[in-house]
Amino acid sequence: MTDMFDIPELTSIAEAKPEELAEMISDLEEYRERIVSDTLAMAQRAKIMKSQALANLEPNLAKIDATLQSLRQQQSKA
């Protein structure tokens, strides 16, 4: 499976302009919110406990959060 974080834009964070960093952060925050919302909606339809659905999602959320932290650090340096 391809890691969704292996995208060219994120491999050159150091070269990104402040506007590009802000856009990446915004897009990634929206994506994170959407997958949590979609996962919880699917869990409800499938009658899966919310905690179980979020536990399964946690590794992906951790990657997203780490990427967001990296982007925000780079943005603060710009």
Better-scored residue on pLDDT, 33 or 9: 33
Note whether 67 and 5 are within 8 A (CB).
yes
Is 0.85 topped by the overall pTM? no
Above 90 in pLDDT, residue 37? yes
Alpha carbon distances (Å) from 15 to 22, 27, 70: 13, 18, 13
Above 90 in pLDDT, residue 8? no
How high does pLDDT run on average in the chain?
Answer: 85
Q: Structural domain boundaries of the chain?
A: 15-77
Above 80 in pLDDT, residue 11? no
